[in-house]
């Protein structure tokens, strides 16, 4: 007797768990969907469904999760908004995102969180979550913010970047750690050193000085302070956008306390080349650094130090990036739409395996932050799928980017590997660069306590 499902994704190479070793493996199988969830994985000889997608020669990945984006909504929507940012995610095979709090006004109250969430309910093309932000004057609100549905936790800036959220003092950092329960997510740059060394950037007047001004020591001092304090207080933290060799070597020894994120930009751009080629378009915080730092980040992926890959998608208009004189130019680059393709190219080049990419960009974000029903191709999990062609060669072009900023640091780059389809809860939402239907992302649900390392 035939088993009846809503849809079947047939003859694809699926990235799934090996039940014996618990390691990810790739295997040609069929996947059946019922009521928005994966119902069965196996052979479809006895299956029946009104919709059957033949995916021969394609790979099906668990839906990608970008756990660090800035969609600039509200207050800075000339750069980006939830609708345009989530559209890029959909086009690039990212099925869920965590959005950061340095908007205008900053997301420092439950009410501000709820305002963003209401906008996302109406306009987000993919699934969503929103961080609350820590500041000097909202310590009493942190507990309620991180317990708000669809909030992964609290974000803290130890070094000034874009926006006015900053907690640089040691006693305030300790208080934020005391007031929160979920894993604290932190931008680590040592503010006093940034202020002390800003003259380097001002005298240079060129972004090639960016990684000299905001040097390795600026990042390391903040990371060391955060992790040591968290360890002493019995807390767990997540260190965002680790960019330096010294940080990576330190964090390798601190896995009981800190999880580690590395960005696509830091792995695929390096100084001085990017600054000479892209100028202020390559400016971000922490900076893109020299190749020996980049090599250390790749080693951290191979040896297990790195837990999560993300983008820190942070767009500004071309006018904002190009018309002022450095260092008055803003820091940040778009990246959510190119996230999956740029790593597919690195898979082709042998820098990372497809299975490890899925672990770092889907399974681990879901596990570390306690996202319910996401991150794996397994019966009972939500049918969020990123479907890719690993052999397709193409060129990234600015005209493909759906950001309001309309540019990418990877414009003109020839790569191998392309996102062909994006599936949300079993429904085809993007196919062959064509959006299907209206925005219908849902809020991500999180466990209430600290997630596991």
103 and 250 inside one domain: yes
Is residue 342 domain-shared with residue 427, that is, in the same domain? no
| Residue that the structure tokens 């000339």 belong to | 78
Read off the CATH number of the domain in which 294 is found: 3.20.20.140
Domain presence at residue 448: no
Structural domain boundaries enclosing 35: 3-60+377-435
**3-class DSSP state of 334:** coil
With H, G, I as helix, E, B as strand and everything else as coil, classify residue 451.
coil
312 and 237, same domain (yes or no): yes
Kindly tell me if the per-residue pLDDT of 424 is higher than 70.
Answer: yes
Whether residues 397 and 420 share a domain: the answer is yes
Which pLDDT does position 104 carry in this prediction?
96
Pair (103, 205) in one structural domain: yes
125/102 Cα distance (integer angstroms): 21
Give yes or no for residue 439 having a pLDDT over 70: yes
What's the CA angle centered on 137, arms 135 and 141, to 5 degrees?
85
Indicate if 35 belongs to the active site.
Answer: no
Q: Is residue 449 part of a domain?
A: no
Q: What is the pLDDT of residue 257?
A: 98
| Last-in-domain residue among 320, 348, 369 | 369
Shared domain check, 202 and 107: yes
Phi/psi for 380 (5° steps) reads 100, -20
Report the pLDDT value the prediction gives residue 160, as an integer from 0 to 100: 64
| Mean pLDDT, rounded, for 327-337 | 98
pLDDT (mean) for 76-80: 98
Residues 119 and 71 sit within 8 Å (Cβ to Cβ): no
H/E element holding 19? none
Within this chain, do residues 36 and 72 fall inside the same structural domain, yes or no?
no
Q: What are phi and psi of 344, to 5 degrees?
A: -60, -35
Catalytic residue, candidates 73, 307, 312, 384: 312
Q: Please compute, for residue 227, the number of CA atoms within 13 A of its CA located in the half-sphere on the CB side.
A: 25
Q: Which residue has the higher pLDDT, 221 or 453?
A: 221
- The answer, yes or no, to whether residue 84 has pLDDT greater than 70, is yes
Q: Is 69 helix (H, G, I), strand (E, B) or coil?
A: strand
pLDDT at 265 (0 to 100)? 98
Looking at the fold, whether 18 and 71 belong to one and the same domain comes out as no
In this model, does residue 450 exceed pLDDT 70? no
Q: Is residue 443 situated within a structural domain?
A: no
- Same domain for 67 and 54: no
Report how far Cα 278 is from the mean position of its chain's Cα atoms. Answer: 23
Cα 254 to Cα 263: distance, rounded to the nearest angstrom? 20
Question: At 388, which CATH number?
Answer: 2.30.40.10
In this structure, the answer to whether residues 257 and 148 fall within a common structural domain is: yes
Q: Do residues 175 and 188 both lie within one domain?
A: yes
CB atoms within 10 A of CB 290: 16
Number of domains the chain is built from: 2
Could you give the CA distance from residue 453 to residue 451 in angstroms, rounded to a whole number? 7
Domain assignment present for residue 440? The answer is: no
pTM given for the model: 0.97
Whether 125 maps to a domain, the answer reads yes
Domain contains 442: no
Residue 202 placed within a domain: yes
- pLDDT surpasses 80 at 174: yes
Query: Which of 347, 369, 391 is the C-terminal boundary of a domain?
Result: 369
Query: Which residues pair with residue 51 across a beta bridge?
Result: 7
312, 346, 369 - which closes a domain: 369
d(CA 97, CA 266): 19
């Amino acid at each position: 007797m035939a088993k009846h499902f809503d849809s079947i994704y047939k003859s694809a190479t699926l990235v799934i768990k090996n039940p014996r070793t618990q390691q990810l493996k790739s295997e040609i199988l069929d996947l059946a969907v019922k009521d928005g969830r994966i119902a069965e994985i196996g052979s479809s000889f006895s299956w029946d469904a009104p919709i059957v997608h033949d995916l021969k020669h394609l790979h099906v990945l668990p839906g990608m999760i970008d756990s660090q984006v800035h969609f600039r909504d509200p207050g800075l929507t000339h750069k980006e908004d939830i609708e345009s940012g989530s559209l890029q995610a959909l086009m690039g095979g990212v099925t869920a995102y965590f959005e950061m709090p340095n908007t205008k006004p900053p997301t420092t109250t439950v009410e501000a969180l709820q305002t963003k969430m209401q906008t996302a309910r109406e306009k987000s093309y993919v699934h969503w979550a929103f961080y609350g932000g820590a500041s000097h004057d909202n310590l009493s609100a942190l507990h309620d913010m991180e317990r708000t549905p669809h909030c992964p936790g609290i974000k803290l800036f130890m070094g000034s970047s874009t926006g006015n959220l900053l907690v640089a003092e040691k006693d305030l950092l300790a208080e934020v750690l005391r007031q929160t329960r979920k894993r604290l997510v932190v931008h680590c740059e040592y503010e006093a050193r940034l202020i002390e060394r800003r003259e380097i950037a001002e005298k240079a007047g060129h972004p090639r000085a960016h990684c000299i001004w905001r040097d390795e020591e600026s990042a390391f001092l903040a990371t060391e302070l955060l992790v040591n304090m968290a360890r002493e207080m019995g807390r767990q933290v997540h260190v965002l956008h680790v960019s330096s060799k010294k940080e990576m070597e330190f964090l390798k020894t601190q896995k009981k306390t800190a999880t580690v994120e590395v960005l696509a930009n830091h792995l695929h751009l390096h100084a001085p080349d990017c600054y000479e080629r892209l100028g202020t378009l390559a400016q971000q915080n922490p900076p893109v650094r020299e190749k020996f730092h980049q090599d250390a980040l790749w080693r951290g992926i191979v040896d297990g130090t790195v837990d999560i890959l993300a983008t820190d998608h942070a767009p500004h208009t071309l006018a904002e990036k190009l018309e002022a004189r450095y260092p008055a130019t803003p820091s940040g680059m778009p990246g959510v739409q190119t996230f999956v393709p740029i790593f597919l190219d690195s898979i082709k080049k042998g820098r990372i395996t497809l299975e490890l990419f899925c672990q770092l960009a889907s399974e681990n974000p879901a596990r570390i932050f306690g996202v319910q029903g996401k991150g794996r191709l397994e019966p009972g999990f939500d049918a969020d799928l990123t479907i890719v062609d690993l052999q397709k060669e193409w060129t990234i072009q600015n005209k493909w980017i759906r950001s309001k900023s309309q540019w990418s640091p990877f414009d003109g780059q020839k790569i191998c590997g392309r996102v062909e389809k994006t599936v949300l809860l079993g429904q085809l939402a993007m196919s062959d660069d064509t959006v299907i239907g209206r925005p219908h992302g849902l809020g991500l649900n999180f466990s209430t306590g600290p997630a596991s390392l």
